[in-house]
Amino acid sequence: MDNILELKDVYVQYNGNHVLEEISLTLEDGEFLSIIGPNGGGKTTLIKAILGLVKPCGGQIRLRDDLIIGYVPQHTKFDRQFPIHVFDVVLTGRLGNRLRLFKRYGEEDRQKVTEILKAMGLSHLAKRQIGMLSGGQLQKVLIARALVAQPDLLILDEPTANLDSENRRDIYDILHRFNEKKAVILVTHDLEYIEDNKRQVVLLNRKIIYRGDAKTREKTQIHDHGGTHHA
Ligand SMILES: Nc1ncnc2c1ncn2[C@@H]1O[C@H](COP(=O)(O)OP(=O)(O)OP(=O)(O)O)[C@@H](O)[C@H]1O
């Protein structure tokens, strides 16, 4: 399999209503794909289907056999009341795709967490409760949690939503560095970013309306059909 990910004619429904239809999509190693579209267009559902969190009612999803995926959920939906330190949140990322019954964290896992926190400039937050973090800090911690599994593909759901421009820039820098070697799928409403950075884009509104280069299309054609711009 040359692609790391292949979706063929995928359908997903909730309560009898199709929220995704005829989704066919491939992703190559090292690619950076942005997914845009209106609220309720099915972006998060598509990610969940790729992760195996929702089951398609039709079609096929194939991942390369050894593929490790890092998933960064929407930080705005993360339960901040959960009493846990930053270090331990990142440590849970070590379970990742290698989840086995009764696996315990070892010294190597702790070492990797220390390294990733340092590389991302987050060491000073290691012992802080997650409830005490700013939105930008929490988002970076969730990215660290995904990266500590050393994934081949990083999937992020609106990582820059509600963040200021400095934090947005930090996050895009992290993604660009990761993308020098590995693949990224980014769900975003930040059209300016994907156009400025010549990203491959999928416009999703139940079906794939467009896939291609963000820059070669007229803005109106890739516009997110009136969806709310969180960024
Ligand atoms: N667990 C669920 N049960 C029933 N319906 C759901 C469920 N999750 C999502 N939906 C519905 O499926 C549709 C697609 O939702 P989804 O969250 O995938 O869209 P989205 O493109 O990610 O939206 P947004 O940009 O607002 O995050 C919506 O109509 C939503 O209400």
| Residue 156 burial (CB count, 10 A) | 26
Arithmetic mean of pLDDT over the chain:
88
Q: What is the C-alpha to C-alpha distance for residues 16 and 29, in angstroms, rounded to an integer?
A: 35
Instruction: Say if the ipTM goes beyond 0.85.
Output: yes
Closest Cα to atom 2, ligand 1: which residue? 14
Residue of minimum CA distance from atom 18 in ligand 1:
42
Distance, CA of 72 to CA of 144 (rounded, Å): 9
- Supply the pLDDT for residue 228: 40
Q: What spacing in Å lies between the alpha carbon of 18 and ligand 1's midpoint?
A: 11
In the chain, the percentage of residues whose pLDDT exceeds 90 is 69
Centroid of ligand 1 to alpha carbon of 110 (angstroms):
36
Residue ranges lining ligand 1, Cβ < 6 Å: 14-15, 19, 37, 39-45
Q: Which atom of ligand 1 is nearest to the CA of 46?
A: 18
Cα 79 to chain centroid distance, Å, stands at: 18
- Strands of the chain (E only): list them: 3-14, 17-28, 32-36, 58-63, 69-72, 153-157, 183-187, 200-205, 207-213
Q: Which atom of ligand 1 is nearest to the CA of 48?
A: 18
Task: Give pLDDT, residue 99.
Answer: 53
Q: Which residues pair with 26 in a beta bridge?
A: 6
Pocket residue to mutate for ligand 1, from 12, 18, 36, 43, most atoms within 8 A of Cβ = 43
Predicted confidence (pLDDT) per residue in 96-129, tens digit: 645 555 567 788 889 999 999 999 999 999 999 9
Atom of ligand 1 nearest to the CA of 158: 27
Q: What's the gap in Å between 106 CA and the centre of ligand 1?
A: 38
On whether the CB atoms of residues 23 and 10 are closer than 8 A, the answer is yes
Q: Which tokens sit at 19?
A: 């929220």
For residue range 124-145, what is the model confidence (pLDDT) as tens digits? 999 999 999 999 999 999 999 9
Give pLDDT, residue 92.
Answer: 87
- CA 216 to ligand 1 center in whole angstroms: 29
**What's the gap in Å between 9 CA and the centre of ligand 1?**
19
Alpha carbon of 39 to ligand 1 centroid (Å): 8
Residue 218's alpha-carbon distances to 38, 43, 120, 178, in angstroms, are 17, 22, 36, 29
d(CA 213, CA 41): 20
Q: What is the pLDDT of residues 169-202, one digit of tens each?
A: 999 999 999 999 999 999 999 988 888 887 889 9
